[in-house]
Amino acid sequence: MVITTNQQSINDNHNYDNRRSFNNLPVHPGECLVPIRVDWEMVKHFNMCRDNLETWHIGPNKVLVAFAPVAIDAKAAAIKNFYRDVREYFASFHTDDTLSLDQFLEEAESEDDKGFEPASPENLEETVLLRMIINDLINQVHIINPKYGRILDLICEDYTKGQILEELHLGKSQGYADIKAAQDLAKKLYFGE
């Protein structure tokens, strides 16, 4: 087993290079590992090393995850694709227990609510995965627009809209427009629009 650690972007909070690639090949310089959703047919077809797979539990659903090398500069797109694939996979079950960015954005948009309140998860793993997904999404927003990323950080810290305006020294109309724009950007990134 060879595990290679590569230099990651300063905005990258999720380094998967402590994992092993699905086929045990080393990660080359300029590459990093990213999660990919797999199924048992893929595992057989690509002769994946089963010891390198992980099962991530999210609500009542389980996701079989492998790790594949990609160029470091393609990491954000690969992770975005992973989240899209997981979301589509969950949607195929038609349950109400899947991740809901829409709920996150709606609660954050409400003037009466304080902000993000995840559905009460039944176990720690799904809370951790949801937090990882939201953190990766916010990191992507930070890269595109640091101001909008900061707004989403404050939403996650249960700031009210008024507190966000005060913290960022924004006027009411411009502040509300910025909050909505930050939420719209997050939604666009999440859904790959």
* Domain match, 82 and 109 both: no
Of 111, 113, 91, residue with least CA distance to 100: 91
Looking at the structure of the chain, the number of domains it has is: 2
- The reply to whether 40 and 70 lie within a common domain is yes
Domain boundary among 77, 97, 117: 97
Same domain? 59 vs 120: no
Residue 15 identity: N
Higher pLDDT, 71 or 99: 71
**Distance between CA atoms of 22 and 9, rounded to whole angstroms?**
23
Do residues 133 and 79 touch, judged by C-beta distance below 8 A? no
* pTM of structure: 0.45
**pLDDT at res. 31:** 92
> Quick one: what percent of the chain has pLDDT higher than 70?
72
How far is residue 76 CA from its own chain's centroid? 10
> Does 35 share its domain with 13?
yes
114 and 178 belong to one structural domain = yes
- Per the structure, the complete domain to which residue 6 belongs is given by 1-97
**Whether 11 and 82 share a structural domain:** yes
pLDDT, one tens digit per residue, over 112-147 is 544 444 444 344 455 666 777 787 888 888 899 999
Answer yes or no: do 152 and 183 share one domain: yes
Band (pLDDT 50/70/90 cuts) for residue 9 is very low
> How high is the pLDDT of residue 93?
64
**Better-scored residue on pLDDT, 8 or 34:** 34
pLDDT by residue (tens digit) across 12-41? 457 887 899 999 888 999 999 999 999 888
Give the pair of three-digit tokens for residue 130. 């949801």
